[in-house]
Structure 1
Amino acid sequence: MPSQPLPSGEELPADEVLIGGVWTRGSGHANEVTDPATGRVLTTLHTASPEDVDTAARAAADPAWRELAPHRRARHLHRVADLIDRDADRLSAVQTADTGKTRAETAALAASAAGTFRYAAALLETAEDAITPSRGPWTTFATHEPLGVVGAIAPWNSPIASDAQKLAPALAAGNAVLLKPADWTPLTSLALGRLLTEAGLPPGLVSVLPGPGRTVGDAVVRHPLVAKVSFTGGTDTGRALARTAADKLMPVSLELGGKSPTIVLPDADREQALAGVLFGVFSSSGQSCVAGSRLFVAREIFDDFVGELAARADKLRIGPGTDPRTQVAPLVHHRHRDAVAAHVEAARAEGGRVLCGGGPPEGPAYADGAYYRPTVITGLPNSARTCQQEIFGPVLVALPFDDEDDLIAQANATDYGLACGIWTRDLARAGRIARRIEAGTVWINTYKQFSSATPFSGWKESGLGSEKGRDWLRGYQRQKSLYVADDATPLPWAS
């Protein structure tokens, strides 16, 4: 069917994907992209196929980009950032249509993507190789070179920001990239691909290949020219990807699932903690790997705090992402909404008590959208499936704790280790707890704040490898050592 205009009146991208420098119709299946707020089909896009992946990989194997001087590559990355800023409103509108997110959030994600490209450009301009201490009559160097072709498999929950976090460091490091966006949300990545083309990157350097993970993603991972894969998504998929990478002896970067604890100590600033917990789990409609989906509250304040939290969650404004008043937008897809609902029904079956939410909102305004009410559940032990499985929706499980040792034992009793939030006025105690928590990121008296300059990693089954920070580019390069003799004396063994 023909593309429908966005609510802003702008047309959605044409039925084309970017394969080896050419915008063309994909040779994969026809995929209907729907608006999560209305269920309306926005456009039909033909996805890429494994054959398209092969074409893209072979077109990407070109030395022109890697041989550019670093400051010249950086100039292209700054150009991409400028183009994102120029088209921020349109990119925000496309991502809201694609994912259902609020315009406020998608505008922030576009700004974040521009910042990521600028940060990667800065790293590129300032990255240094080393002359290492010599242990003989040589001058020794440690240098870094691009890997070649990188596979970037991005999630559906924050396309443009996730795309940038894979593209920018990989390109800065001198690589070509095969970007595979999620099947549900391809439009934002394709719009970004147009800007990459406009920025003057060499043809074929970046391909945008939407399609299912089981076909297109698998073809990217297995392709012999792909030298590394950066993946964000579910833990089961990440584990399967890592097995394939092991067979290829190929490095991978995996950002996987989470079931992150949020901790409220008895002395916490009540208003600050309430606002922070609500934001930490219900912003983005709970569709965030770092969502604070397990709430631990000191037993002496548990009933009062959780009761007030549920009352406030019940008043959060639910609506389409295009409404500036909306706080909780629809979930990304009706199938995902149904999966979240099934988790809540499982919690009820386990004996959980639903304090608020527990189903879609009522009324004709919500009838056709993938909406789900913010949900707070109590009465379950930390060992319950609902407390252990990632739900990836607006669902919070609240549990009491008795003392610090009990808290640490419960918070760490999970297969995941992505993030944690702590709410207290006692910063010394917060620091002590933070060091005992098994997670890659801990926020104290704040939540879901990020910086390109600060490393981000998952522990346990939440991931493998680290992103962001000063060493970000090095994850997309391989190291080479050079020995240069200081004189022309023949090696004595050969004399």
Structure 2
Amino acid sequence: MKNFKMRIGEHWSDAKSGQRFESLNPYTGKHWASLPRGGAEDVDAAVRAAHHAFKHGPWSQMTATQRGLLLHKVGDAIAAHAEELADLEVRDNGKLKAEMLKQMRYLPHWFYYYGGLADKIQGDVTPFDKPGIFHYTTFEPLGVVATIAPWNSPLLLAVWKIAPALAAGNTVVVKPSEFSSASTVLFAQLCEEAGLPPGVVNVVTGFGPEVGEPLVKHPLVARIAFTGSESGGRRVYENAAADFKRVSLELGGKSANIVFEDADLDDALKGVVTGIFSATGQSCMAGSRLLVHASIHDAFVERLVTFMQDVKLGDPLEATTQMGPVSTQPQLEKTLQYIQIAKDEGARCVLGGQRSKRPGTEHGLFVEPTIFVDVNNDMRIAREEVFGPVLAVIKFDTDEEAIAIANDSPYGLAAGVWTRDLKRALEVPKRLEAGSVWVNAYRLVSYLAPFGGFKSSGIGRENGIRAVYEYLESKSVFINPTPGVENPFVLG
């Protein structure tokens, strides 16, 4: 059993209550790590440490260039420990080592990008409309940012928030998921080793009601950046509204992956598999609704089933494993429940549809890759987020019908389009109600590309240049160089 502590200010701490909780390895079915079960007192200590660092610590005295150089060092530290970070995440959430290692090796670029951007944030001098008045704008950090990350890609999705927040000059308190906290704790250690002053990055581990809610409600927290479920986001939004805190929410999805009749079917097959099964369906952007043109529907589904029926389930640390377990016991139960709901509603299961009984998977949280056909868009399997390896296939006849089905969803996070037709490739994305649309690709993300959702998929955008402005306050400064002289254009 590996024991971890929280990072609060300059200290590595246990919970004030002395309580701890354990993290389950979803492949072995055994607990492998112990972490402090934080509470409101720990949250208060962390927020106050972050507030002190923002107001009075060396972080507040640094130039933007100095902050940026430190962020580069954080990126270097992550790069040097990518393998260790990936191993921690695999043990926590059961995702494939290949995917987690790729994420960890890509992660430093967020700190290189936003570190370079730190001293490029500029205000403006305005050609003002009132004679004799000099006006300019500037941008200032907000203060303490609360970052709440999910269990599926815990460090990646935390860094999407942390890197721009720090580049803007804020300090952060991170609440990782209780199911996958280990990599975030190591990240805090790497921040310390890279030279970030105490209190700039704080980590409080524990459960939502005991850590997340007090963090969102804390009066010294200026902004909340949350990734998680729609219900969790709603609670965050409601609690933050009491103090008018700024909020960004990256929530769920029921993304449509649309295969038109003229698509390269080999590429589309790979894209569909990548979109839903490579992360065991545990991705907010998962292409969990597959829309296939009627003329190729049966042949494409047959190819898909043939491809997936021999996929190797097993130890996610092994290079030959192609799909890992579901990450948590509640998620396993939810996935199996939705499979039964789909069967009860009349969808036809052509692959999987049960918990895995394969040798080597008996102790873990494995669900067979599952494909349903004869699905209509009114079924719950097509409207509600499963967050597991379950694909709902829907047939369509025309472009108009495909677009209508794709948009007929409470969510609007992502979509995929597979076509060789250039006009269709340009026109269909315009009409899809989704924050990200991939054409002849799926699940591509970058520090350069804004990410977020329409409708119930969230509020705000992460990544790209504009994300840093989510963590800044704009200020207008008016200077009258000749005080005492009456100016008839001044209001008030």
TM exceeding 0.5: yes
Deviation at 1:375, TM superposition (A): 0.7
For the 8 Å contact 2:249–2:459, the answer to whether it is kept is yes
Q: 2:135 corresponds to which residue?
A: 140
Q: Alpha-carbon deviations, 1:331-351, whole Å to 9, x = none?
A: 112331121111101111111
Q: 2:16 corresponds to which residue?
A: 27
- Aligned mates of 1:204, 1:393 — CA distance in 2: 37
Q: 1:59 corresponds to which residue?
A: 49
For the 8 Å contact 2:250–2:459, the answer to whether it is kept is yes
Q: Alpha-carbon deviations, 1:159-205, whole Å to 9, x = none?
A: 12112111111111111111000011111111111101111211112
Asked if 1:284 is matched to 2:279, the reply is: yes
Alignment match of 1:186 (pick from 172, 181, 185): 181
For the 8 Å contact 1:21–1:206, the answer to whether it is kept is no
SS in 2 for 1:33: strand
Asked if 1:468 is matched to 2:479, the reply is: no
Residue identity matched to 2:12: W
Deviation at 1:491, TM superposition (A): 2.7
Task: Show the 5 A alignment for 1:304-383.
Answer: 304-383=299-378
Alignment match of 1:256 (pick from 251, 256, 260): 251
For the 8 Å contact 1:340–1:392, the answer to whether it is kept is yes
SS in 2 for 1:304: helix
For the 8 Å contact 1:30–1:45, the answer to whether it is kept is yes
Task: Show the 5 A alignment for 1:43-58.
Answer: 43-58=33-48
Deviates more, 1:14-23 or 1:186-195: 14-23
SS in 1 for 2:242: helix
- Aligned mates of 1:27, 1:287 — CA distance in 2: 33
Q: 2:118 corresponds to which residue?
A: 124
Asked if 1:17 is matched to 2:3, the reply is: no
SS in 1 for 2:29: coil
Task: Show the 5 A alignment for 1:296-307.
Answer: 296-307=291-302
- Aligned mates of 1:462, 1:16 — CA distance in 2: 33
Q: Alpha-carbon deviations, 1:30-63, whole Å to 9, x = none?
A: 2111111101110222221111000111111122
Task: Show the 5 A alignment for 1:157-176.
Answer: 157-176=152-171
For the 8 Å contact 1:150–1:227, the answer to whether it is kept is yes
Asked if 1:428 is matched to 2:438, the reply is: no
Residue identity matched to 2:32: L
Alignment match of 2:70 (pick from 68, 76, 80): 76
Deviation at 1:423, TM superposition (A): 0.4
Q: 1:406 corresponds to which residue?
A: 401
Asked if 1:220 is matched to 2:215, the reply is: yes
Deviation at 1:214, TM superposition (A): 1.6
Q: Alpha-carbon deviations, 1:8-34, whole Å to 9, x = none?
A: xxxx4x331112221011235421111
For the 8 Å contact 1:155–1:233, the answer to whether it is kept is yes
Deviates more, 1:382-391 or 1:311-320: 311-320
SS in 2 for 1:150: strand
- Aligned mates of 1:231, 1:373 — CA distance in 2: 30
Q: 1:115 corresponds to which residue?
A: 109
Residue identity matched to 1:226: V
Q: 1:386 corresponds to which residue?
A: 381
Q: Alpha-carbon deviations, 1:49-91, whole Å to 9, x = none?
A: 1110001111111223233100100011001000001111111
- Aligned mates of 2:182, 2:49 — CA distance in 1: 23
Residue identity matched to 2:208: G
For the 8 Å contact 2:136–2:478, the answer to whether it is kept is yes
Residue identity matched to 1:124: A
Asked if 1:247 is matched to 2:242, the reply is: yes
SS in 2 for 1:355: strand
Q: 1:275 corresponds to which residue?
A: 270
For the 8 Å contact 1:231–1:255, the answer to whether it is kept is yes
For the 8 Å contact 1:263–1:296, the answer to whether it is kept is yes
Q: 1:8 corresponds to which residue?
A: none
- Aligned mates of 1:294, 1:374 — CA distance in 2: 14
- Aligned mates of 1:343, 1:66 — CA distance in 2: 50
Deviates more, 1:363-372 or 1:339-348: 363-372
Q: 1:105 corresponds to which residue?
A: 99
SS in 2 for 1:275: helix
Deviation at 1:492, TM superposition (A): 4.8
For the 8 Å contact 1:179–1:208, the answer to whether it is kept is yes
- Aligned mates of 1:101, 1:75 — CA distance in 2: 32
For the 8 Å contact 2:257–2:417, the answer to whether it is kept is yes
Alignment match of 2:30 (pick from 30, 33, 40): 40
SS in 1 for 2:61: coil
Q: 1:9 corresponds to which residue?
A: none
Deviation at 1:459, TM superposition (A): 0.2
Residue identity matched to 2:92: D
List gaps (5 residues or longer) in structure 2. Answer: none
Alignment match of 2:196 (pick from 194, 201, 204): 201
SS in 2 for 1:141: strand
Q: Alpha-carbon deviations, 1:252-291, whole Å to 9, x = none?
A: 0000000000000000001011111111111111100000
Aligned residue-pair number: 483
Deviation at 1:484, TM superposition (A): 2.0
Task: Show the 5 A alignment for 1:433-444.
Answer: 433-444=428-439
Deviation at 1:108, TM superposition (A): 1.3
Deviates more, 1:247-256 or 1:117-126: 117-126
Deviation at 1:460, TM superposition (A): 0.2
Runs of 4+ in 1 over 6 A off after TM superposition: none
TM-score by length of 2: 0.96
C-alpha spacing 1:469/1:492, structure 2 compared with 1 (3 Å):
closer
SS in 2 for 1:456: coil
Identity of aligned residues (%): 38
Deviation at 1:361, TM superposition (A): 2.2
- Aligned mates of 1:50, 1:453 — CA distance in 2: 36
Q: Alpha-carbon deviations, 1:417-459, whole Å to 9, x = none?
A: 0000000000211221111110011000000011111111200
List gaps (5 residues or longer) in structure 1. Answer: 4-11
- Aligned mates of 1:125, 1:251 — CA distance in 2: 23
